[in-house]
C-alpha cells in the first residue's frame, strides 16, 4: 500500500516522485523499461525556468549548473536573414540547454539516497478502479503478478502508456493535429555552428541547429513521413543542413559521424480532462507538442509542479479541492504552450498544401517579427516559459 503510485520513470515521473518524497508523501514508481533503455532515449534539452527551479528546489541541480548552457536568445532564419530574439533583454529571463538524458540521470542517481522506490521492467502494467477511492495497479515482474494499492495513481507513462487508456472514452476527449512531415535528427560530437539555436525556414524545408554542450551538437531537417533513415547517410544530412541553415551557419558547421539518427513524427495532441477519479495524468500521457519551441519536457514539468502541489495539499491538509482543480489548472497552461508550438511550427515549415499565398504570409510574418519589438516580446515570453 502506498499513497501515490506513479506510472513511468521518465523525467516527469521521477521529478514528481522526488517532490512528493520531499514533502513526506509515500510513493512508488513503476517503469516498463530498464534504466539503460530510459537513459538511451534521445530527447530535447532546452529548459525553462520552471524545470530549472524544480531541480534547484530538490537540490539536484549541481551538474545542471556546472554543465548547462545559459542562452539569452535564439534565432529565426529565412534564407539570407537571421532574426535574433533577445529573450534576456525582452523578458529578463533565459533558458538553459541541458539534455533531457542528463536531467533524467540526475533524477535516477538520487533515487537510492533519497528513498524513492522505482520498480524497473514492470511488464503489463494495468490500472484498476480509478473511479473509486481505492484504485490499484497490477504488473508482472520475474514471472509473478504484483499488486499495488494506492489512494492516487499518476500516469507519467507517455503517449502510448496504459494510464490515459484507463479513462473511459465517454469521459475524455482527444484534440489532435498530425503533421505531414517528421524531424530527421542527427547527434554528433562536434561543436555547434552557433552559440544559440537557429530555427530555419528554407524553400527546401525546415532545419534546426541546436546543441547539447560545447562539443556535442543536435541538428534536424524536416522530411516527408515516407522517408527512411537508411536513405539519409551522414553526408546527405550535413549537405542538406548547410543549404537550409544559410551560408553563415554553413560556414561554421563542423561535420562528424552520427552518434544517433532518427526520424520523429510531429503531432499536436491534448487529452482532456487530465484527471478522472483517483487518476491524474502528467506530461506526454495527456499532451504532445511538436518539438518546435522545445515545450515538451517543460510542459511536463509544470504538470508535475501542479500535481505535486495538489497531492501535497490532499495528503497533508485533506484538501480534496486541490485534486479536483488539477486538470483545469494544468490544461490552462497546456493550451497556451500548444498554441505557441503550433504557431511556430506553422511559421517555420513549408506544408505540402501551401501555395504562394501561404508562403507570402510566412514572409510577411517574419518581416513583422524582424521589425517589431512587440512581436519579438510575445515570442520571447512564450519561449522562455509562461508563468506557472
For the record, the C-alpha cell of 346 comes out as: 506553422
Number of domains in the chain: 1
Cα separation, 211 vs 42, in Å, equals: 12
In terms of phi and psi (left: phi > 0; alpha: psi -120 to 50; beta: otherwise), the region of 107 is alpha
Q: What is the pLDDT of residue 45?
A: 85
Query: Would 249 be classed as within a structural domain?
Result: no
Which phi and psi angles does 129 have, rounded to 5°? Answer: 55, 40
User: Is residue 275 scored above 80 in pLDDT?
Assistant: yes
Q: pLDDT (tens digit, 9 = 90+) per residue, 162-186?
A: 999 999 999 999 999 999 999 999 9
The answer to whether residue 291 is catalytic is yes
Query: Would 10 be classed as within a structural domain?
Result: yes
Q: pLDDT (tens digit, 9 = 90+) per residue, 36-81?
A: 999 987 677 899 999 999 999 999 999 999 999 999 999 999 877 8
Q: pLDDT (tens digit, 9 = 90+) per residue, 134-166?
A: 999 999 999 999 999 999 999 999 999 999 999
Domain span at residue 23 reads: 2-45+98-176+267-345
Contact call for residues 130 and 279 (beta carbons, < 8 A):
yes
Pick from 385, 379, 369: nearest CA to 50: 385
Distance of CA 111 to the CA centre of its chain: 22
Query: Would 277 be classed as within a structural domain?
Result: yes
Distance of CA 107 to the CA centre of its chain: 16
Q: Given the residues 18, 276, 287, 295, select the one marked as catalytic.
A: 295
User: Is residue 382 scored above 80 in pLDDT?
Assistant: yes
Residue 284, domain CATH: 3.50.50.60
Q: What is the pLDDT of residue 44?
A: 72
Q: What is the pLDDT of residue 41?
A: 78
Q: Given the residues 98, 139, 179, 199, select the one marked as catalytic.
A: 199
- The overall average pLDDT reported for the chain is 96
Q: Given the residues 11, 18, 71, 162, select the one marked as catalytic.
A: 71
Q: Burial, 69: exposed, middle or buried (Cβ in 10 Å; 0-12, 13-18, 19+)?
A: middle
Contact call for residues 39 and 104 (beta carbons, < 8 A):
yes
Query: Would 320 be classed as within a structural domain?
Result: yes
Q: pLDDT (tens digit, 9 = 90+) per residue, 12-29?
A: 999 999 999 999 999 999
Q: Are strands 205-211 and 81-85 parallel, antiparallel or unpaired?
A: unpaired
For the record, the C-alpha cell of 50 comes out as: 520552471
Q: Given the residues 291, 306, 326, 329, select the one marked as catalytic.
A: 291
Query: Would 127 be classed as within a structural domain?
Result: yes
In terms of phi and psi (left: phi > 0; alpha: psi -120 to 50; beta: otherwise), the region of 143 is left
For 329-338, what is the mean pLDDT? 97
Query: What is the pTM assigned to this prediction?
Result: 0.94
User: Is residue 263 scored above 90 in pLDDT?
Assistant: yes
Distance of CA 339 to the CA centre of its chain: 15
Query: Would 378 be classed as within a structural domain?
Result: no
Query: Would 61 be classed as within a structural domain?
Result: no
Q: What is the pLDDT of residue 79?
A: 78
Query: Would 69 be classed as within a structural domain?
Result: no
Amino acid at each position: 500500500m502506498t499513497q501515490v503510485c506513479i506510472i513511468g520513470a521518465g523525467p516527469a515521473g521521477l521529478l514528481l516522485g522526488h517532490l512528493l518524497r520531499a514533502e513526506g508523501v509515500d510513493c512508488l514508481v513503476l517503469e516498463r523499461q530498464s534504466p539503460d533503455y530510459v537513459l538511451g532515449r534521445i530527447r530535447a534539452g532546452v529548459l525553462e525556468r520552471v524545470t530549472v527551479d524544480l531541480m534547484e528546489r530538490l537540490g539536484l541541480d549541481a551538474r545542471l549548473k556546472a554543465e548547462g548552457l545559459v542562452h539569452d536568445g535564439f534565432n529565426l532564419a529565412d534564407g539570407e536573414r537571421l532574426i535574433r530574439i533577445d529573450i534576456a533583454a525582452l523578458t529578463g529571463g533565459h533558458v538553459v540547454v541541458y539534455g533531457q538524458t542528463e536531467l533524467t540521470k540526475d533524477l535516477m542517481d538520487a533515487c537510492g539516497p533519497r528513498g524513492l522506490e522505482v520498480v524497473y521492467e514492470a511488464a503489463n502494467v494495468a490500472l484498476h478502479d480509478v473511479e473509486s477511492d481505492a484504485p490499484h495497479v497490477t504488473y508482472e515482474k520475474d514471472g509473478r503478478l504484483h499488486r499495488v494499492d494506492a489512494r492516487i495513481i499518476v500516469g507519467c507513462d507517455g503517449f502510448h502508456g496504459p494510464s490515459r487508456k484507463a479513462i473511459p472514452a465517454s469521459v475524455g476527449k482527444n484534440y489532435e493535429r498530425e503533421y505531414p512531415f517528421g524531424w530527421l535528427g542527427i547527434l554528433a560530437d562536434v561543436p555547434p555552428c552557433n552559440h544559440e539555436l537557429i530555427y530555419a525556414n528554407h524553400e527546401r524545408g525546415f532545419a534546426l541547429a541546436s546543441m547539447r554542450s560545447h562539443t556535442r551538437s543536435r541538428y534536424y531537417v524536416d522530411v516527408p513521413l515516407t522517408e527512411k533513415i537508411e536513405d539519409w547517410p551522414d553526408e546527405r544530412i550535413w549537405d542538406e543542413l548547410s543549404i537550409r541553415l544559410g551560408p553563415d551557419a554553413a560556414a561554421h558547421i563542423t561535420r562528424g559521424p552520427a552518434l544517433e539518427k532518427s526520424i520523429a513524427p510531429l503531432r499536436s495532441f491534448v487529452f482532456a480532462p487530465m484527471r478522472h477519479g483517483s487518476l491524474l495524468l502528467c506530461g506526454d500521457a495527456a499532451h504532445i507538442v511538436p518539438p518546435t519551441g522545445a515545450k515538451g519536457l517543460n510542459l511536463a514539468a509544470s504538470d508535475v509542479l501542479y500535481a505535486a502541489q495538489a497531492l501535497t495539499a490532499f495528503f497533508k491538509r485533506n484538501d480534496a479541492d486541490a485534486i479536483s482543480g488539477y486538470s483545469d489548472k494544468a490544461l490552462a497552461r497546456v493550451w497556451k504552450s500548444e498554441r505557441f508550438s503550433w504557431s511556430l511550427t506553422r511559421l517555420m515549415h513549408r506544408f505540402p498544401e501551401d501555395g504562394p499565398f501561404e508562403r507570402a504570409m510566412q514572409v510577411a510574418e517574419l518581416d513583422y517579427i524582424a521589425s517589431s519589438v512587440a512581436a519579438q516580446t510575445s515570442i520571447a515570453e512564450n519561449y522562455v516559459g509562461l508563468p506557472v
